[in-house]
Amino acid sequence: MDADSLNISCLGPCRIDSPFMKTLAQVNKETSYVTDDDRMLFDCSKNAILSAEDTSNLPAFELAGPREKIYFDPSKTRCAIVTCGGLCPGINDVIRGMVMNLHYRYNVKNIYGIRYGYQGFIPSYGHDVLDLSPDVVKDIHKYGGTMLGTSRGQQDPVEIVDCLERMSISVLFVIGGDGTIRGALKISEEIKRRNLKISVIGIPKTIDNDIMYIDQSFGFETAFSEAVKSISSAHTEALGGMNGIGLVKLMGRQSGFIACFAALAMNDVNFVLIPEVPFRLEGENGFLNSLKKRLERRRHAVIVVAEGAGQDYLNTDKSLTDASGNVLLGDIGLYLKQIIGDYFKRINMEITMKYIDPSYIIRSVPASPQDRVFCLRLAQVAVHAAMAGKTDMIVGRYYNKLVHIPMKLASSGRKRVDPNSDLWLSVLEATGQPMEFK
Q: Which domains does the chain have, with CATH numbers?
A: 3-217+367-410 (3.40.50.450), 222-364 (3.40.50.460)
Distance between CA 338 and CA 341 in Å, rounded? 5
Bridge partners (DSSP) of residue 401 are 398
Q: What digits encode the pLDDT tens for the residues 396-434?
A: 999 999 999 999 999 999 999 999 999 999 999 999 999
Q: What's residue 340's pLDDT?
A: 98
Distance between CA 41 and CA 63 in Å, rounded? 10
Q: Of the candidates 96, 64, 108, 57, which has an alpha carbon nearest to the alpha carbon of residue 393?
A: 64
Contact 75, 107 (CB under 8 A): yes
Weakest mean pLDDT among 10-24, 40-54, 240-254, 322-336: 40-54
| Res 319 pLDDT > 70 | no
Instruction: Say what percent of the chain tops pLDDT 90.
Output: 84
Q: What's residue 436's pLDDT?
A: 87
If you average pLDDT over residues 321-336, what whole number do you get? 82
**How many residues appear in the chain?**
438
DSSP string of 225-271, one letter each residue: HHHHHHHHHHHHHHHTSTTEEEEEEE--SS--HHHHHHHHHSTT--E
Contact 219, 93 (CB under 8 A): no
Confidence category of residue 383, pLDDT binned at 50, 70, 90: very high
Contact 113, 130 (CB under 8 A): yes
- Given the residues 93, 178, 208, 210, select the one marked as catalytic: 208
Confidence category of residue 29, pLDDT binned at 50, 70, 90: low
Identify the residue with better confidence: 238 or 178: 238
Q: What digits encode the pLDDT tens for the residues 113-149?
A: 999 999 999 999 999 999 999 999 999 999 999 999 9
- Burial code of 341-370, b = ≥16 C-beta within 10 A, e = fewer? eebbeeeeeebebbbbbbbeebbebbbbee
Residue 244 backbone phi and psi in degrees, to 5: -75, 135
| Res 43 pLDDT > 90 | no
Distance between CA 303 and CA 433 in Å, rounded? 11
Residue 349 backbone phi and psi in degrees, to 5: -120, 120
Q: What's residue 308's pLDDT?
A: 95
Q: What's residue 82's pLDDT?
A: 98
Distance between CA 214 and CA 398 in Å, rounded? 5
Distance between CA 19 and CA 403 in Å, rounded? 22
If DSSP codes are grouped into helix, strand and coil, which group holds residue 144?
Answer: coil
DSSP 8-state symbol, 414: B
Confidence category of residue 20, pLDDT binned at 50, 70, 90: confident
Instruction: Say what percent of the chain tops pLDDT 70.
Output: 93
Helix (H) or strand (E) holding 428: helix 422-431
If you average pLDDT over residues 5-26, what whole number do you get? 88
If DSSP codes are grouped into helix, strand and coil, which group holds residue 305?
Answer: strand
> Which strands, in side-by-side order, build the sheet including 300-306?
271-273, 300-306, 244-250, 352-356
Regarding beta strands 244-250 and 393-398, do their DSSP bridges make them parallel or antiparallel, or are they unpaired? Answer: unpaired
Q: What's residue 48's pLDDT?
A: 52
CA angle (255 as vertex; 251, 261 as ends), nearest 5:
70
Distance between CA 201 and CA 406 in Å, rounded? 10
Write down the mean pLDDT value for the chain: 93
Q: Of the candidates 168, 157, 144, 236, which has an alpha carbon nearest to the alpha carbon of residue 190?
A: 157
Q: What's residue 58's pLDDT?
A: 84
If you average pLDDT over residues 355-377, what whole number do you get? 95
User: What residues contact residue 244 under an 8 Å CB cut-off, 6+ apart?
Assistant: 237, 238, 299, 300, 301, 351, 352, 353, 354
Q: What's residue 3's pLDDT?
A: 81
Q: What's residue 327's pLDDT?
A: 73
Q: What's residue 52's pLDDT?
A: 53
Q: What's residue 315's pLDDT?
A: 77
Distance between CA 389 and CA 164 in Å, rounded? 16
Summarize the chain as % helix, strand, coil (round to 5).
Answer: 40, 20, 40
Residue 404 backbone phi and psi in degrees, to 5: -100, 130
Q: What's residue 45's pLDDT?
A: 59
| Res 47 pLDDT > 60 | no
Residue 24 backbone phi and psi in degrees, to 5: -60, -40
Q: What's residue 54's pLDDT?
A: 58
Q: What's residue 6's pLDDT?
A: 92
Distance between CA 93 and CA 142 in Å, rounded? 8
Regarding beta strands 110-114 and 129-131, do their DSSP bridges make them parallel or antiparallel, or are they unpaired? Answer: antiparallel
Weakest mean pLDDT among 14-28, 177-191, 192-206, 350-364: 14-28
DSSP string of 320-371, one letter each residue: -B-TTSPBPPP-HHHHHHHHHHHHHHHTT---EEEEE--HHHHHTSPPPHHH
Q: What's residue 332's pLDDT?
A: 96
Identify the residue with better confidence: 359 or 292: 292
Q: Of the candidates 270, 286, 289, which has an alpha carbon nearest to the alpha carbon of residue 278?
A: 286
Distance between CA 127 and CA 116 in Å, rounded? 8
If you average pLDDT over residues 268-297, what whole number do you get? 96
| Res 107 pLDDT > 80 | yes
If you average pLDDT over residues 327-350, what whole number do you get? 94
Residue 174 backbone phi and psi in degrees, to 5: -115, 120
Verify whether residue 371 is a known catalytic residue: no
The structure's pTM equals 0.93
DSSP 8-state symbol, 301: E
CA angle (240 as vertex; 237, 243 as ends), nearest 5:
95
Q: What's residue 53's pLDDT?
A: 56
